[in-house]
Amino acid sequence: MRLLIIVVTFLLPLRLAAAELPPLRAFIEPEQFRNPKLSPHGASLAVVGVRNYIDMVAVIDLATFKAVPVATLPNARLLNYWWKSESQLLLLVDFWQDGAGFQLLDLKTGKSRALRRLNFQGGSIVNPLIDDPDHMLVSTYTYAYAPSGVDLRRLNLRTEKLEMLTKNPGNVTRWLTNRAGSTMAGLGRLDDRWFMLVPEPSKKTPWRRIDLGDRDVPDFWPIAIYTDQRSILGLDYSAGNTAVAAVWDPAHDRKQVIWRSDDVDADAILVWGDDETRPRAVAYETDRPRYHFIAEDDGALATQIDALLPDCTNAIVSMSADESKMVIQSYSDTVVSNYHLLDRTNGLLKPLGSAHPGLHSARMAPIRHFTFTNRSGMNITGQIHLPRDAAGPCRAIILTTDTSLTTGTSLTTRTSLTTGTSLTTGTSLTTRNRRNFQPYYQLLASRGYAVITINQRGTAGFGSSFEQAGDQQIATGMPDDIADGLDWLIREGLVDKRRVAILGGRKGGILALHTLVRHPELFSAWINIDTPMSPHFLEVGDVVFGRHSEKSRLARIGGERQTAEYLRTLDPKQLLPAVRVPAFCYYTRDPRDNSLVNDGSVAQRHFEKSGLPQVFLQSPSAQTSFDTRKDFEQAGDDETERVYAELLRFLDRHLQ
């Protein structure tokens, strides 16, 4: 039966008025409203708010809509939290310079109790055990000073004791458990070969070892226990050109593909709320995020929610134990994150709040997805953020990958709906562009600049053949793809060919520099963010893409000597004399010696002598000490705002 939904005003306004242009700071500061979670019976809702860089937790009684502050963390960051009962919250807190630890909060008494701290640099929370109020499963280093994997332990929240549940037999780095907390699989790597362990019925051999290959990504990546609570759901990279979602039956060593595409890879596994033991869908992306639901009922509910909250990607981020109440997160290219409460018993959908009320969707730039054919006959995709008030060809900034200009705490949205494992093949040079809210792209678009990204050959997510087409193409084919995409947009009348800048950061800056030098007629300015100025920053994985072993990656070029020779031909500093347009450079500092990272002083010396119009900015000292987390994060955002203000002044001068 379709839901009859009545939208009512509740708790917080979703957005402020859209009349005024948001200030730069609105795109930079942390989310003000995040991570709402329902209690097990759905009687209460907890939510994290941020005011003046301080995390606060409030609990709302859904019968009276009364909100009560229950925790303030003046010098810490709340990483996550869980309802362990109707009256208990378990907080995982990063205590600034003292590491991470648990706080158990009793809502009846208002008292909190610190639990023992765990080394979360070496492990993680494996299973919050949502049906067990007294325990959760965590992984910890097997050996504190010489890590060779992790053990699986049960943490007793009452006694604070850590009970060994599964001893690491050697080199296991991740454990998978079912809803009841039973160990169902382990993933590890030894001597450059991946393996998966599954329980063996015989006590003499408790584990059966399954080889998963020697490439940098395993042939099969186990992500979650399947709905039967026995089989293993994961991404299979050995089934053909694209990654597929498959279920591995360990009892019979059989894999069954449950979703595949000839055009794009399966990205991740979708779960609802904190129950990571019940996968709901396979996530993938074409022109927008899409899902293949495992159960028909889940798919039908998702379709209803999408009809009620159109033009957004909608995710169920929390729900009561009986699934009668759900918190829906909605986001899109123009919406950061809006949250709604869905009561399925009476059909009410109530707005809860917005992560950034100051960023009104009506002021944000929608993404236009486009496809063009490059000079080699390949179909290439891209995205353009067009300013809302664009009335003709726009000033534009085209970005290579790995280009986020962030210097401190940044505005982020939840765009990966995985079980806690995010899998990206290749390198940062080949990360695909996604249709979600990009705060810094929106900042530039709000000031009148179209922002362009191209999924050039070598980009991950479109199958292994497309990735491998980028091998050894950083100076040739990849720049040509970027140029061909820009030419297409110019012919379409979207971009002013006389007013285009290219922006690249870190290793993506090397691609931007080669594109600028190979196609100088297309660009009027160069924006360089921490671009390495020496070839020794490049590795073979930066120029040979897709899944490989180290040996096979080197063999693609001809061996170690040929690889070293090829990387030297990409030396960025040799290209600097060919740059004939105004340049904006920003380099951060190395905390070890306070020098500019990535040999940035090479670029600084060149532009001081070049006579070209240029702006060269450096971050403040990396050795500055801060007394509190608030001071540290605020200083980072101050610096980001300073750099963007200078960048906009530079663009306004040179892209007039």
Q: Determine contact, residues 117/138, Cβ cutoff 8 Å.
A: no
What's the mean pLDDT in 496-511?
95
Indicate yes or no: pTM above 0.75: yes
Of 502 and 407, which is predicted with more confidence? 502
User: At residue 420, does pLDDT exceed 80?
Assistant: no
pLDDT band (50, 70, 90) for residue 429: low
Mean pLDDT within 231-242: 94
Mean local confidence (pLDDT), 174-186? 95
**What pLDDT score does 402 carry?**
53
Amino acid 73: pLDDT:
92
In terms of pLDDT, which residue wins out, 488 or 7?
488
pLDDT in tens, 133-157: 999 999 988 765 555 789 999 999 9
pLDDT at 403 over 60: no
User: Strands across the sheet with 150-156, in order?
Assistant: 125-127, 135-141, 150-156, 162-166
Q: For the segment 288-309, what is each residue's pLDDT rounded down to a tens digit?
A: 999 999 999 999 999 999 999 9
Query: Residue 112: pLDDT above 50?
Result: yes
Q: Which CATH code is given to the segment(s) 365-654? A: 3.40.50.1820
Least confident of 96-105, 178-187, 206-215: 96-105
Can you give the residue ranges of every domain in the chain?
6-178+185-199+271-284+291-354, 365-654
pLDDT at 413: 25
What digits encode the pLDDT tens for the residues 309-322? 999 999 999 999 99
Q: Report residue 473's pLDDT band, with 50, 70 and 90 as the boundaries.
A: very high
Task: Find the radius of gyration of the CA atoms of the chain.
Answer: 25
Classify the phi-psi angles of 328: left when phi > 0, otherwise alpha if psi is within -120 to 50, otherwise beta: beta
CB distance 307 to 299 below 8 Å: no
Across 168-172, average pLDDT: 91
pLDDT 10s digits, 247-280: 999 888 899 999 999 999 999 999 999 988 899 9
Q: Is the pLDDT of residue 175 over 50?
A: yes
Share of the chain above pLDDT 90, in %: 78
Q: What is the pLDDT of residues 361-388, one digit of tens each?
A: 999 999 999 999 999 999 999 999 999 9
Q: Could you tell me which of 260, 264, 235, 265 has the C-alpha nearest to residue 247?
A: 235
**Average per-residue pLDDT in the chain?**
89
Question: Is the pLDDT at 8 greater than 60, yes or no?
Answer: no
Structure tokens at 119: 């080394």
Tell how strand 583-587 and strand 495-505 pair up. unpaired
CATH fold, domain 6-178+185-199+271-284+291-354, is: Methylamine Dehydrogenase; Chain H (2.130.10)
So what's the pLDDT on residue 656? Answer: 85
State mean pLDDT over 39-60.
Answer: 95
Residue range 466-474: mean pLDDT, rounded: 95
Q: What percent of the chain is predicted at pLDDT more than 70?
A: 90
Amino acid at 652: D
Min mean pLDDT across 193-207, 253-267, 325-339 is at 193-207
Whether 25 shows a pLDDT value over 50: the answer reads yes
Q: How far is CA 214 from the centre of its chain?
A: 26
End-to-end CA distance of the chain: 57
Phi, psi dihedral angles at 215 (to 5 degrees): -80, 170
pLDDT tier for residue 19 given thresholds of 50, 70 and 90: low
> Which residue, chain included where needed, has tokens 């730069």?
24
Task: State residue 2's pLDDT score.
Answer: 38
Average pLDDT estimate for 48-52: 93
Please report the DSSP string for 265-304 in residue order: ---EEE--TT-TTS--EEEEESSSEEEEESSHHHHHHHHH
Q: How confident is the model at residue 427 (pLDDT cuts 50, 70, 90)?
A: very low
Q: What is the mean pLDDT of residues 549-566?
A: 94
